[in-house]
Structure 1
Amino acid sequence: MKKLINSAESVLADALRGVAAAHPELTVDHENRVVISNAAREGRVALISGGGSGHEPLHSGFVGAGMLDAACAGEVFTSPTPDQMLAAAQAVDSGAGVLFIVKNYTGDVLNFEMAAELAADEGIASESVIVADDVAVKDSTWTAGRRGVGTTLLVEKIAGAAAAEGKSLAEVKAVAEHVASHGRSMGVALTSCTVPAVGHPSFDLPDDELEMGVGIHGEPGRTRVPLAPAHDIAAELVEAITADLDFTGAPVIALLTGLGGTPLIELYVMYADIADALAAKGVTVARSLVGDYVTSLDMAGCSLTLLRADDEVLRLWDAPVETSALRWGR
């Protein structure tokens, strides 16, 4: 294992020190491992997300004006605790309540449920939205039902814009649920990832094979197939996603995220073939985002997310955002 770390035990603490040093517009609660936006939020709904570390910039990279108010960081691939989530809620609630945005992993779901109960005891109103968008498999490692992946980013951005406009907690939740229910994702891995505390690849993937439908923690996918050209991989991802939900007749937001170990040039090669495959199916992409946004440490591969949108969703997507990993319109 070769990594730019001090020790496997201090990776998260050291990374949070780096976040604090690099981004003075954020406040880092090192004791509770919560990243908090310094943007004004008086009287409006606050958005909180989080999960195991290793998926950066998800979630801390999306804390800021127009998106998340706080992100809770668990150890690598490990859910944050209810106490962390409660600390986040206490830090950002301004009286209008908080919305928890939760990826569908059993630990995350249970801990956010407990956090909501603790918040209620503190007089903080809260609601939760669970993202379960991975079409690859059902009931995989750490998951009851579909895994939550790339649509999480889209929920955070679009619901964040709704909150910034002063919508009520019920209204912001409705926006988030709409986005969560209209997004679908699937990924492919060329290599495994290496968790620092483990020190070796999480699974063995021969040089001449791909894992189709891999999870962002290295969970098994649908099948292993021989290494193939980008256009074949793109076609399979598009086919799997569009077979699950009809994306014709509406504008679509497309996210192609690297998994941490794929050069941007390869992501654009993939996106060119994805765009062709979508056009052949009559799918109209209105907005696109290509880069490392929802990763899996150093895994080589990518994940495609499609969101069936409408004019209101596009308006909220285009609304100003200012975070360390996503910014436009300001």
Structure 2
Amino acid sequence: MKKIINDPKTVVAESLRGLAAAHADVLRVEDDPAIVVRVDAPVAGKVAVISGGGSGHEPLHGGFVGQGMLAAAVPGAVFTSPTPDAVEAAVKATTGDAGALLIVKNYTGDVLNFETAGELAAAEGLDVRSVVIDDDVAVKDSTYTAGRRGVGGTVLLEKITGAAAERGDTLDAVEALARKVIGQVRSIGVALTAPTVPHAGEPSFDLADDEIEFGIGIHGEPGIERTAVTTADELVARMVEAVVTDLPFAEGDKVLLFTNSMGGTPLVELYLAHGIAERLLAERGIVVERRLVGPYITSLEMQGMSLTLLKLDDELTELWDAPVNTPALRWGV
């Protein structure tokens, strides 16, 4: 294992210190328990949108803390859910009379721990709601989940709900918007290599040089099928087919296309794949109105990619375009 680390036990803590040093104008990091908080939190009169999960997916979630997105992020150990006390600390640090919305990826540990934290916060008089995102079309169940996994759509959900909170929407409205996004977003991922978790010291699964894992999750779990290496045209066509037919998306739909690197895929390959996906969607009469390309929800150094499609309407487009100022996303400010 070759990684730029000191000790596997301190990777997350040291990384968070670096995040805080690099972006002190946007966020702050609190220790014991570790949370990443918007620098001006709590913001009076505004819903606090909070998310989190295991580390190793950077910039998710800490890189999306700031104006127009998350009020706080709760990092667990690498590929490990954060504890309820950490989630509760994030709620207390950011939540006022307007309440809080917890965005939870559909992994068993995340769901249980965020639910427990929400109950603890509610017992102290805070209005806290939760939504669970499950946009992965690859599986109905996996080792890590009861039902579909929460993957690339999480980034889009955090941006759109964060924008709604920023403009002053009520908690009821932000929650309803979140459920709307969850109902209209779908994703699929593939891997060319497996990630290596620092404390494990070896790849999460074995993959030969001439193999691709189709339908992977973001925690290093294997996919639903192992296939031979193929051309980008063939691979992206299969990914687009899996996503489009699941909702299903139809001719005339306006969408946001998110082409995501799993951490180790260079942009030259990612843009190549994105171009193919745009062409294939256009051939189906699906209109790509907004795009996001890059490593925004990763799996350590995994070589691979995911495609996410969100069906847009005027409100979702307006909220996507709204100003955002975070370490990983910034426009309009």
State TM-score, norm by structure 1. Answer: 0.99
Tell me if structure 2 keeps the 8 A contact 1:131–1:151.
Answer: yes
Tell me if structure 2 keeps the 8 A contact 1:250–1:310.
Answer: no
Shift of 1:277: 1.2
Q: Which residue of 2 aligns with 1:4?
A: 4
Could you tell me how far apart the structure 2 residues matched to 1:106 and 1:144 are?
7
Could you tell me how far apart the structure 2 residues matched to 1:137 and 1:280 are?
27
**Which one of the candidate residues 182, 201, 213 is aligned to 1:180?**
182
Q: Which residue of 1 aligns with 2:32?
A: 31
Does 2:279 match 1:258? no
Deviation sequence 1:129-173 (CA, Å, 0-9, x none): 100000001111210000000111111000111111111101000
Q: Which residue of 1 aligns with 2:103?
A: 101
Could you tell me how far apart the structure 1 residues matched to 2:138 and 2:40 are?
37
Could you tell me how far apart the structure 2 residues matched to 1:295 and 1:141 are?
19
Could you tell me how far apart the structure 2 residues matched to 1:86 and 1:39 are?
18
Could you tell me how far apart the structure 1 residues matched to 2:285 and 2:248 are?
10
- Alignment of structure 1 residues 244-283 onto 2, 5 Å: 244-248=246-250, 249-283=252-286
Shift of 1:19: 1.0
Q: Which residue of 2 aligns with 1:240?
A: 242
Could you tell me how far apart the structure 2 residues matched to 1:141 and 1:196 are?
20
Could you tell me how far apart the structure 1 residues matched to 2:189 and 2:181 are?
19
**Which one of the candidate residues 229, 240, 248 is aligned to 1:227?**
229
Shift of 1:309: 1.0
Q: Secondary structure at the match of 1:138?
A: coil
Shift of 1:246: 2.5
Could you tell me how far apart the structure 2 residues matched to 1:323 and 1:247 are?
31
Q: Which amino acid aligns with 2:32?
A: E
Q: Which residue of 1 aligns with 2:127?
A: 125
Q: Which residue of 2 aligns with 1:205?
A: 207
List structure 1 runs of 4+ shifted beyond 4 angstroms: none
Could you tell me how far apart the structure 1 residues matched to 2:282 and 2:190 are?
21
Q: Secondary structure at the match of 2:245?
A: helix
Could you tell me how far apart the structure 2 residues matched to 1:275 and 1:39 are?
39
Tell me if structure 1 keeps the 8 A contact 2:189–2:216.
Answer: yes
Tell me if structure 1 keeps the 8 A contact 2:281–2:287.
Answer: yes
CA RMSD of aligned residues (A): 0.8
Could you tell me how far apart the structure 1 residues matched to 2:183 and 2:31 are?
34
Structure 1: runs of 5+ lacking an equivalent: none
Q: Secondary structure at the match of 1:65?
A: coil
- Alignment of structure 1 residues 69-218 onto 2, 5 Å: 69-218=71-220
Shift of 1:118: 0.4
Could you tell me how far apart the structure 1 residues matched to 2:100 and 2:45 are?
11
- Alignment of structure 1 residues 302-313 onto 2, 5 Å: 302-313=305-316
Could you tell me how far apart the structure 2 residues matched to 1:111 and 1:144 are?
15
Q: Which residue of 1 aligns with 2:15?
A: 15
Could you tell me how far apart the structure 2 residues matched to 1:329 and 1:297 are?
29
Deviates more, 1:8-17 or 1:35-44: 35-44
Q: Which residue of 1 aligns with 2:325?
A: 322
Q: Which residue of 2 aligns with 1:53?
A: 55
Q: Which amino acid aligns with 2:317?
A: L
Deviation sequence 1:287-325 (CA, Å, 0-9, x none): 000000000000000000000110110001000000000
Structure 2: runs of 5+ lacking an equivalent: none
Shift of 1:39: 3.6
State TM-score, norm by structure 2. Answer: 0.98
Q: Which amino acid aligns with 2:115?
A: E
Deviation sequence 1:55-109 (CA, Å, 0-9, x none): 0000000000000000000000000011000000000012110000000000000
Q: Which amino acid aligns with 1:161?
A: A
Could you tell me how far apart the structure 2 residues matched to 1:128 and 1:71 are?
14
Deviation sequence 1:17-65 (CA, Å, 0-9, x none): 1111111121101221100001462111001000000000000000000
Could you tell me how far apart the structure 2 residues matched to 1:250 and 1:297 are?
33
Shift of 1:276: 1.2
Could you tell me how far apart the structure 2 residues matched to 1:30 and 1:229 are?
46
Could you tell me how far apart the structure 1 residues matched to 2:202 and 2:280 are?
36
Q: Which amino acid aligns with 1:143?
A: T
Percentage identity across paired residues of the two chains? 58
Could you tell me how far apart the structure 2 residues matched to 1:115 and 1:94 are?
16
Does 2:293 match 1:290? yes
